[in-house]
Chain A
Amino acid sequence: GAVVSQHPSWVICKSGTSVKIECRSLDFQATTMFWYRQFPKQSLMLMATSNEGSKATYEQGVEKDKFLINHASLTLSTLTVTSAHPEDSSFYICSAREVRDLLSYEQYFGPGTRLTVT
Chain B
Amino acid sequence: QKEVEQNSGPLSVPEGAIASLNCTYSDRVSQSFFWYRQYSGKSPELIMSIYSNGDKEDGRFTAQLNKASQYVSLLIRDSQPSDSATYLCAVRVIWGDLNFGNEKLTFGTGTRLTIIP
Which A residues are within 8 Å of any B CB, using their own CB?
Answer: 31-32, 34, 42-46, 49-51, 54, 57, 93, 95, 97, 102, 105-107, 109-112, 114
Among B42, B98, B107, point to the contact of A43 (Cβ < 8 A). B107
- Tell me, yes or no, whether B19 is within 8 Å of chain A by CB: no
Question: Given that A43-B110, A46-B104 are known contacts, is A109 also in contact with B45, CB under 8 Å in the complex?
Answer: yes
Asked if A57 and B49 make an inter-chain contact with CB atoms under 8 angstroms apart, the answer reads no
11 additional A-B residue pairs with CB within 8 Å, beyond A43-B109, A51-B99, A109-B45:
A32-B101, A43-B88, A43-B110, A44-B88, A44-B107, A46-B105, A51-B101, A57-B101, A102-B99, A105-B34, A107-B105
Which residues of the partner chain B approach A57 to less than 8 Å between Cβ atoms? 101
Asked if B44 and A44 make an inter-chain contact with CB atoms under 8 angstroms apart, the answer reads yes
Could you tell me how many residues of chain B have their Cβ less than 8 Å away from some Cβ of chain A? 24
Asked if B43 and A93 make an inter-chain contact with CB atoms under 8 angstroms apart, the answer reads yes
Which B residues are within 8 Å of any A CB, using their own CB?
Answer: 32, 34, 41-46, 49, 51, 88, 92, 98-101, 103-110
Which residues of the partner chain A approach B34 to less than 8 Å between Cβ atoms? 105-106
Asked if B101 and A102 make an inter-chain contact with CB atoms under 8 angstroms apart, the answer reads no
Nearest-neighbour CB distance to chain B for A37, whole angstroms, equals: 11
Question: Given that A42-B109, A43-B107, A57-B101 are known contacts, is A106 also in contact with B49, CB under 8 Å in the complex?
Answer: yes
> In the complex, A32 Cα to B34 Cα: how many Å?
19
> In the complex, A51 Cα to B41 Cα: how many Å?
28
Which residues of the partner chain A approach B99 to less than 8 Å between Cβ atoms? 31-32, 51, 102
Nearest-neighbour CB distance to chain A for B112, whole angstroms, equals: 9
Which residues of the partner chain B approach A49 to less than 8 Å between Cβ atoms? 101, 103-104
Closest to B99 in A: A31
Among B44, B51, B98, B110, point to the contact of A102 (Cβ < 8 A). B98
Which residues of the partner chain A approach B41 to less than 8 Å between Cβ atoms? 114
Asked if B32 and A105 make an inter-chain contact with CB atoms under 8 angstroms apart, the answer reads yes
